Amino acid sequence: MSSYLQSLMSTGETVQFGTRQHPITLVRAMLQSGVVLLAAMAVGGLVTRRAEDLGPFSRILGAVLAVVAAWAALNLAVVFARWRAKQYIVTTRRVLEVEGLLNKTVRDSNLDKVNDIVLRQSALGRVLNYGEIEIITGADIGLNRFEWIADPLTFKRVMLDNKEDFDTLARPQAADASDISQSDIPAAIAQLGALRDRGLITPDEFERKKADLLSRY
44 domain-assigned: yes
The reply to whether 114 and 8 lie within a common domain is yes
Q: How far does Cα 104 stand from its chain's mean position?
A: 12
Cα–Cα distance, 148 to 144 (Å, whole number): 13
166 domain-assigned: no
Query: Taking a C-beta distance cutoff of 8 angstroms, is the pair 1, 15 a contact?
Result: yes
Q: What is the CATH number of the domain that holds 140?
A: 2.30.29
Helix (H) / strand (E) containing 159: helix 152-174
The reply to whether 111 and 136 lie within a common domain is yes
The reply to whether 11 and 33 lie within a common domain is no
What is the model's pLDDT at position 170?
A: 54
What is the model's pLDDT at position 166?
A: 63
What is the model's pLDDT at position 191?
A: 76
50 domain-assigned: yes
Cα–Cα distance, 112 to 50 (Å, whole number): 69
Enclosing domain of residue 31: 24-84
Q: In the 8-state DSSP scheme, what is residue 77?
A: H
The reply to whether 78 and 184 lie within a common domain is no
The reply to whether 145 and 200 lie within a common domain is no
The reply to whether 17 and 38 lie within a common domain is no
What angle, 0 to 180 degrees and rounded to 10, lies between the N-to-C axes of helices 203-214 and 152-174? 40
What is the model's pLDDT at position 141?
A: 52
The reply to whether 181 and 193 lie within a common domain is yes
49 domain-assigned: yes
Helix (H) / strand (E) containing 76: helix 57-85
Q: Per the structure, how many domains does the chain have?
A: 3
16 domain-assigned: yes
144 domain-assigned: yes
Cα–Cα distance, 66 to 58 (Å, whole number): 12
154 domain-assigned: yes
The reply to whether 91 and 8 lie within a common domain is yes
pLDDT one digit per residue (tens) for the chain, 217 residues: 678 888 888 877 889 999 999 999 888 878 877 777 777 777 777 666 666 666 666 677 777 777 888 888 888 888 899 999 999 999 988 899 999 988 999 988 888 778 888 999 999 999 999 999 998 866 545 457 899 999 999 999 998 888 876 665 555 444 444 555 666 677 777 777 777 776 666 677 778 777 777 766 5
What is the model's pLDDT at position 168?
A: 58
The reply to whether 136 and 40 lie within a common domain is no
Of 68, 84, 100, which one is at a domain's C-terminal end? 84
What is the model's pLDDT at position 88?
A: 95
